[in-house]
Chains A and B, each alone.
Chain A
Amino acid sequence: MSDFDDLYQDLIMDHYRHPQGKADLSHVPDEKAMENPTCGDSIKLEVLRDEGGRIAEVRHDGHGCAISTASASLMTEYTRGLSPDEARAAAERFIVALRGEGRLSELDAMGDLAALRGVAGLPVRVKCATLAWHALLRELGEKAS
């Protein structure tokens, strides 16, 4: 499989075309958007919680490439029902694995997120795939402190 086919798998393209958690977040101020300095893309997040404080849904708005859009959608799917601490740990695990600072096999234990492992070999694209997760860390960090 070529790098390209590895990257743009059907699962990724499905999430790109039909992103979960995509919402109109125009009420969130622009200053709260997380920016990707290499391409000028930005993403806004809103974390909805259930009564027990667990994550009901991470909503996202902005526009990005197929990889960043699919990653945000997969994040919404993966974090549903997690506690903030669990979601924070997952985001850190995901970012470290994609950056090549940890073991890539960690991703295999993260369900559909493993479909993004092709990004790990492409340092320029790692920023696309981790943008939403950095935004999530910032959002959760602010709430915790």
Chain B
Amino acid sequence: MGGIALMTDVPVATKGVELDDRIASLRSRFPVLSREINGHPLAYLDNAATSQKPLEVIEAMDAFYLSRNANIHRSLHTLGEEATADWEGARAKVARFIGARRTEEVVFTRGTTESINLVASSWGDAFIKEGDVILLTLMEHHSNIVPWQLAAARRGARLAYIPLEADGGIDLERVESAWDPRTRIVCATHMSNVLGTINDIARLSEIAHAHGALLLADAAQSAPHMGLDVGALGCDFLAFSGHKMYAPMGIGVLWGRESLLEAMPPYMGGGDMIRSVGLERSTYNDLPWKFEAGTPDVGGAVGLAAAIDFIEGIGWDYIGARENELGRKTLAVLEAVPGLLVHGKARDRGAVFSFSFADIHPHDIAQYLDREGIAVRAGHHCAQPLMRHLKVPATTRASLAFWNTEDEILRLGAALEGARRFYL
């Protein structure tokens, strides 16, 4: 088993393909990439599960805990003021990052799952009525299914699913023509964590709004790969996680339209979310604090702000171009592996690829790839309705980031051929 060897200034040497200076320098920001796994340089192709964290993020969080740690909104001393400024500063940065009109529309949560649960519970219980329809797509992550099942059960509402086309996308004309007038909200992923499909959230929002429904976009997968602009997306709620976009685990965001958030009751009760507490009832704080009960993850928010700086320092143009190129090469490599079936061929897609061999279990493939130092995910990807649609119990998934290399993709292809020989 390989030990941890931290060489923060030395990029990982790769065989065959020369790295350009920019990639080498970007890779050097991720110390974990210098690890050896089973005698091979780590090829981390599990970015859709969680991103690796650059030094910029780790150092920003260290600086918070080493010199400014205090509780926020209550500690009237220098550290308390600084920590509060960090927390609210991170919120302002997020608001600008996603094009929010108002900073108050940004609620910090633990992640996408909590963000969606907040909407399903708070908005759902207040505004979903018996007989209403909650419309999802068949490619949703469990975190954008189960909260709605719970809400539907509480309210006597019903779930409906937008079917998938053969390429793993949805047909917006079918959505329009099959529209059920009782639909109250459409909940759709911006980018599928299994198929890589990118959904046209702007068009879906238009369709929903034209029929008086709302749209919630799950941007957990898209947030690290493309600029998000809530104005252009036209959605009513947007949920994403820090940990998939180079920030730590434990911090996430719910953005909602101010008028909607104002009308929603609190989600969790506790400190910080109240204006005053009486014996029988309380009055609630203003947005966004109404939804932020308890001491939050301030260090995580500092990390998220640093991750946004990191991404903007690199630039979406570079990230997009690089990931497109890597994605094209990955698809070509996967399609050249005999017997390998790649799931999802939507025209508009990100660099996330799920694949299967007919007779080899995804766990066995992933374990073989790990022997070669290649990290992928195997399982149902928290998308069992989609797995049933694909008629597989599970898949293996490789997901890329801009700092991955051509060499890592070639190693993936070679290791998949090795796995096929080993198991068949």
Contact = CB atoms under 8 A, between A and B. Distances in A.
Interface residues of B, number: 20
A7 interface: yes
> SS class of chain B's interface: helix, strand, loop or mixed?
helix
Interface residues of A, number: 19
A67 interface: yes
A125 B364 CA distance: 10
B364 A66 contact: yes
A39 B38 contact: no
Contacts of B12: none
A67 B371 CA distance: 16
Contact of A2 (B38, B394, B422, B423): B38
A19 interface: no
A65 B365 CA distance: 9
A65 B361 contact: yes
Contacts of B38: 2-4
A40 B367 contact: no
B380 A7 contact: no
A139 interface: no
B327 to A, nearest CB: 26
Interface string B8-48: 00000000000000000000000000000011000000000
Given A4-B367, A4-B368, A40 B379 contact: yes
Contacts of B362: 39, 65
Nearest to A38: B379
Nearest to B392: A40
Nearest to A124: B363
Given A2-B38, A39-B379, A39-B394, A66 B371 contact: no
Interface string A55-70: 0000000011111100
B271 interface: no
5 contacts: A8-B367, A38-B379, A39-B378, A40-B394, A41-B393
Interface of A: 2-5, 7-8, 38-42, 63-68, 125, 128
Interface of B: 1, 38-39, 361-364, 367-368, 370-371, 378-380, 384, 387, 393-394, 422-423
